[in-house]
Structure 1
Amino acid sequence: MDDSLPLDQNTLWNGAAGENWVAQQTLLDGLFQPMADALRDELPVTVTELLDVGCGTGASTLSAAAARADAHCTGVDISAPMLGLARQRAAAIGRGIDFIVADAQRHPFATAHYDWIQSRFGVMFFEDTQAAFANLHRAARTGAGLRCIAWRSAQENPFMTTAERALADQLVLPARVPGEPGQFAFADGERVRRLLQRAGWQDVDIAPLDLTCFLSRDALASYVGQLGPVGLALRALPAARAEALLQQALTAFAPFIDGDRVRVETACWMIRARA
């Protein structure tokens, strides 16, 4: 069995990026709570076996488990550090949730096992998206529901690229290539629809989901300085240089400041399909 992703993704999420998400779990859970709520609201009362793809530190899995106490929940993610925290969180509330360190594109899930598959920002990083959705379709029972939340385009989510744009002439950052694995890989909704249909999913519906999220103003420096491509780049610099660039980037977030909070208008897709 080979559950590995290409080296760059596997190394990233089992190294600095995964460790940063663990360290910033409280901040990120608060910021993306509206997405966890949106997924929870989609849950049918009849769900018995739920799979949460790219579950990270477990927020969306725990939300589903709390909403459907009789359902057995499983989370899958490539990041061992993030799943380590997810297991701790599940144990702390006494829930028997399974967490699998694996690439959902390749992992041999039991055939026709799950009656609900969900993901909050976990499906945009596959090496081969169609193959991943085909593997998930194989794991789904006939009639099973699929619900995924993914980002739309970078242009529709200016907050997410503010730091990159502010420091574009100061840092060498990885290029964002349309359609390639990454945060905005699902920007083209029609392309995603075709991939799902080719993978065997039916009744595919891809609808805009616009949500307002909030971040504590005091937490903005941690968000910018620790997370994403800018955070990774800053952590590799001498401390004084990193701090100077961080302060430069923070000034660019002025349009998003709302009192003691940072207001983030997000543009996502709610992806619905049936096996």
Structure 2
Amino acid sequence: MPQSAPPNTRQAALWNDVSGKAWVEMQPILDEILAPFERLVVDAGYPREGSNVLDIGCGAGATTLAMARRVGNDGNCVGLDISQPLVALATERTKLGGVANASFEVGDAQTYAFESGHFDAVISRFGVMFFDDPMAAFTNIRKAVRRRGKLAFVAWRSPLENDFMTTAVRAAAPFLPPAPAPDPDAPGQFAFADGAKVKRILEASGWASIEVEQADVPCRIAQRDLMAYATRLGPLGAALREVDRATAEKITTVLPAAFAPFVKDGEARFNAACWLVTAHA
């Protein structure tokens, strides 16, 4: 009998290759852009000093390190990510920063064999929208948390509410083959755009006291970094790796004008529309 493929294989392939490597190279820029979310998630998910905390989809480790500092030397924060390149970078940053109570592991939170009831809290900064089976993932994550332990994460709201995030793809669309209509249930950046859907997933996964609140966060990126950000990450970054040089040049030529409405005084400023989701095990 043929065996089914393990879950999240496509995401694992992406984040252990081109996507993961791009995030490693762009880490300083991304940390600066996402810094406001780091504070938001750590504040919402902080259990108490001396606690054990799990960071899902930890990337290059910024939120893990921030929470490790917050829980103090008697606490511990573990970052888990499916991307080997990002975990390697996070581990290196931890050593350089001398944060002894933070550590990182490569793993898929949907299937990872967590120790039951080990963590006091789970946090995530845009790391939980990529599961093939979100219900299975949040059920597995819940088992890792003690009774009444906290869950806190941020996830993007809809593309319509995040015009900056979709500007590059919209500007490039005339030069690319027609894209199929996005599947709202497929893993990806906007997979949790429907707040009611997020609440249903968590309820079915055994979480309680669920709150799904709108969070509109002012963000900025230096103008000098904007084109690298737009062309190396996300759907456009993937598309540019597949097109010929002439097409790529056409796309990169139109991007500055497309982003011009966001740019002032040497930086692009935009509103990031997301959900701040909290719950208890």
TM-score normalised over the length of structure 2: 0.93
> Is the Cα–Cα contact under 8 Å of residues 50 and 72 in structure 2 kept in the other structure?
no
Partner in structure 1 of residue 143 of structure 2: 138
AA matched with 2:41: L
How do 1:75-224 residues align onto structure 2 when only pairs under 5 Å count?
Answer: 75-96=79-100, 97-172=102-177, 175-224=181-230
> Is the Cα–Cα contact under 8 Å of residues 114 and 139 in structure 1 kept in the other structure?
yes
Aligned-partner Cα distance in 2 for 1:126–1:8: 10
RMSD in angstroms over aligned alpha carbons?
1.7
AA matched with 2:248: A
Partner in structure 1 of residue 29 of structure 2: 27
Partner in structure 2 of residue 67 of structure 1: 70
Q: Deviations over 1:220-257 (max 9, x none)?
A: 01001111110122133344542331121221111111
How many positions carry a matched residue from both structures?
Answer: 274
AA matched with 2:98: G
- 1:121 Cα shift? 0.2
- 1:164 Cα shift? 0.7
Partner in structure 2 of residue 14 of structure 1: 16
AA matched with 1:109: F
Aligned-partner Cα distance in 2 for 1:107–1:192: 21
Unaligned runs of 5+ in 1: none
Q: Deviations over 1:184-207 (max 9, x none)?
A: 010111111011011110100000
> Is the Cα–Cα contact under 8 Å of residues 171 and 251 in structure 2 kept in the other structure?
no
Unaligned runs of 5+ in 2: none
AA matched with 1:92: L
AA matched with 1:12: L
Residue 236 in 1 paired to residue 242 in 2? yes
TM-score normalised over the length of structure 1: 0.95
Aligned-partner Cα distance in 1 for 2:68–2:170: 39
Aligned-partner Cα distance in 2 for 1:175–1:223: 24
- 1:99 Cα shift? 1.1
> Is the Cα–Cα contact under 8 Å of residues 49 and 72 in structure 2 kept in the other structure?
no
Aligned-partner Cα distance in 1 for 2:50–2:203: 23
